[in-house]
């Protein structure tokens, strides 16, 4: 019976991250394209994107609620996962019937509810994986999660591209809603199982980690890197479409190529980090990301863009892998989940700030200037990396 429940949970983790991949590829690439069909300015689109990220910044409180409250005796994780899936499915389905122009407040509410649903099931599924997964299975679980999300992003970048090229945006929203409901039924037979207690006791002393200057600088880096990285990523689709004249169905294929590059960057990131160390890895990630972001501004044709978009994906996956590994290094074992949620929340703040900034830059200066400015942001992050490893506490790998 326990082996069957273990298999059910593994399928659930893969399913949840598969849905996330579809939602993320929409938010990161196609949301801008959809809103442009209503002739909204990039500045206003950026504001919408930034506001929609609020639930992801506040996910730490969702985690605390899930840690402490057994909802109606149904469990600490599963009921929240179910609620999140239903909330996302309903909200994103009804978005197609609401105009972001004439019904802007209602549209924004539905976007927020979609994000709230996702942040809820994402946070609580991560909690469930920590609760129920013994150390020897953690690599397997992470592989299933990351693989599910990457596979989904590759598939749905192409699918959404084809649908959007035909103006069939309603099918995009319906597909995401149906995916969430499928995973809902996968989640129903899952039992939470016995919770594994962290190796170290939950102690107030652990919160002294927040006074570590290395960790504080790491959090600042955690704002700057996604501010530049995700903002540039979200504008690849519109840049290809509006500047290089790439059709929407082809934009989807470009974004699938980006996804393949991101998978490659993630796969290479771990072994390379073991070989050259943390500091050199993140410096390499910064250098590669700076070069490829600047290259997006200078790419002269749709043909060369295939190469640049692929390398951008590699840089994206590699940077994410290295940064998350460093986040695990900084997380005190006694409050590891809490600290890691702080790291993730700070990253979401960076994304939330970057979305409006990118929109304002595109409206005021154009795509090429926007990419160049975001490349400069990466360069400005270099002193932080050296500072992190200079003042880091003992025990943080080099």
Q: What is the pLDDT of residue 296?
A: 92
Q: What is the pLDDT of residue 200?
A: 39
Tell me how far apart the alpha carbons of residues 154 and 136 are, in angstroms, rounded to a whole number: 29
Tell me how far apart the alpha carbons of residues 89 and 355 are, in angstroms, rounded to a whole number: 24
Q: Is the pLDDT of residue 334 over 60?
A: no
- The conformation of residue 244, written as its DSSP 8-state character, comes to S
Fold category of 204-398 in CATH: Growth Hormone; Chain: A; (1.20.1250)
Q: What is the per-residue pLDDT across 94-129, written as a single tens digit (0 to 9) for each?
A: 999 999 988 989 999 999 999 999 988 888 887 777
Structural contact between residues 323 and 225, judged by C-beta atoms closer than 8 angstroms: yes
Closest to 127 in 3D by CA, of 69, 173, 189: 69
Tell me how far apart the alpha carbons of residues 396 and 90 are, in angstroms, rounded to a whole number: 44
Q: What is the pLDDT of residue 369?
A: 92
The highest-confidence range among 77-86, 211-220, 386-395, by mean pLDDT, is: 77-86
Q: What is the pLDDT of residue 188?
A: 85
Same fold, 1-196 and 204-398: yes
End-to-end CA distance of the chain: 44
Q: pLDDT grade, residue 199 (50/70/90)?
A: very low
Structural domain boundaries of the chain? 1-196, 204-398
Tell me how far apart the alpha carbons of residues 315 and 325 are, in angstroms, rounded to a whole number: 15
Fold category of 1-196 in CATH: Growth Hormone; Chain: A; (1.20.1250)
Least confident range of 3-17, 188-202, 279-293: 188-202
CA–CA–CA angle 226, 242, 38 (5° rounding): 85
b/e map 69-106, b = 16+ CB within 10 Å: eeeeeebbbbbbbbbbbebbbbbbbbbeebebeeeeee
Least confident range of 123-132, 139-148, 158-167, 286-295: 139-148
Q: What is the per-residue pLDDT across 12-67, written as a single tens digit (0 to 9) for each?
A: 888 898 998 899 888 877 888 888 888 888 888 878 877 887 887 777 788 777 77
What residues have CB less than 8 Å from 264, skipping those under 6 apart? 313, 314, 317
Tell me how far apart the alpha carbons of residues 389 and 22 are, in angstroms, rounded to a whole number: 36
Bigger pLDDT: 44 vs 309: 309
Q: Is the pLDDT of residue 385 over 90?
A: no
Q: How far is CA 299 from CA 79, 247, 262, 336, 378, in A?
A: 48, 17, 20, 42, 19
Q: pLDDT grade, residue 141 (50/70/90)?
A: low
Tell me how far apart the alpha carbons of residues 319 and 313 are, in angstroms, rounded to a whole number: 10
Closest to 340 in 3D by CA, of 354, 326, 356: 326
Residues in the chain, total = 398
Place of tokens 């429940």: 5
What mean pLDDT, rounded, does the chain reach? 81
Q: How far is CA 17 from CA 91, 165, 261, in A?
A: 19, 26, 18
Bigger pLDDT: 334 vs 131: 131
């Amino acid at each position: 019976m326990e082996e069957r429940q273990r298999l059910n949970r593994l399928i659930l983790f893969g399913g949840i991250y598969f849905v996330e991949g579809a939602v993320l590829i929409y938010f990161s690439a196609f949301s801008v394209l959809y809103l442009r069909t209503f002739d909204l300015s990039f500045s206003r689109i950026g504001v919408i994107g930034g506001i929609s990220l609020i639930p992801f910044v506040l996910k730490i409180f969702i985690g605390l609620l899930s840690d402490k409250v057994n909802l109606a005796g149904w469990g600490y994780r599963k009921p929240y996962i179910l609620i999140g899936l239903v909330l996302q499915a309903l909200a994103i389905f009804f978005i197609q019937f609401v105009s972001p122009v004439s019904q802007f407040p209602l549209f924004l509410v539905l976007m927020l509810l979609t994000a709230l649903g996702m942040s809820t099931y994402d946070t609580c599924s991560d909690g469930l994986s920590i609760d129920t997964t013994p150390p020897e299975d953690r690599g397997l679980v992470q592989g299933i999660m990351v693989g599910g999300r990457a596979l989904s992003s590759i598939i749905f970048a192409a699918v959404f591209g084809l649908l959007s090229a035909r103006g069939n945006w309603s099918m995009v929203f319906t597909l995401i809603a149906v995916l969430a409901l499928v995973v809902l039924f996968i989640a129903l037979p899952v039992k939470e199982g016995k919770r594994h207690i962290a190796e170290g006791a939950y102690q107030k002393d652990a919160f002294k980690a927040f006074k570590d200057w290395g960790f504080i600088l790491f959090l600042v880096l955690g704002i700057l890197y996604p501010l530049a990285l995700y903002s540039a990523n979200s504008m690849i689709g519109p840049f290809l479409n509006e500047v290089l004249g790439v059709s929407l169905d082809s934009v989807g294929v470009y974004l699938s190529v980006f996804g393949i590059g991101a998978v490659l960057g993630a796969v290479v990131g771990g072994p390379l980090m073991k070989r050259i160390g943390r500091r050199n890895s993140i410096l390499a990630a910064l250098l590669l990301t700076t070069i490829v972001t600047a290259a997006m501004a200078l790419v002269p044709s749709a043909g060369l863009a295939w190469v640049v978009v692929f390398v951008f994906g590699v840089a994206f996956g590699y940077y994410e892998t290295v940064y998350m590994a460093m986040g695990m290094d900084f997380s005190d074992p006694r409050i590891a989940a809490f600290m890691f949620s702080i790291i993730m929340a700070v990253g979401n703040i960076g994304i939330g700030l970057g979305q409006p900034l990118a929109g304002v830059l595109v409206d005021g200066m154009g795509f090429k200037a926007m990419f160049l400015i975001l490349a400069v942001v990466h360069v400005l992050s270099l002193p932080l990396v050296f500072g992190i490893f200079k003042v880091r506490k003992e025990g943080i790998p080099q």
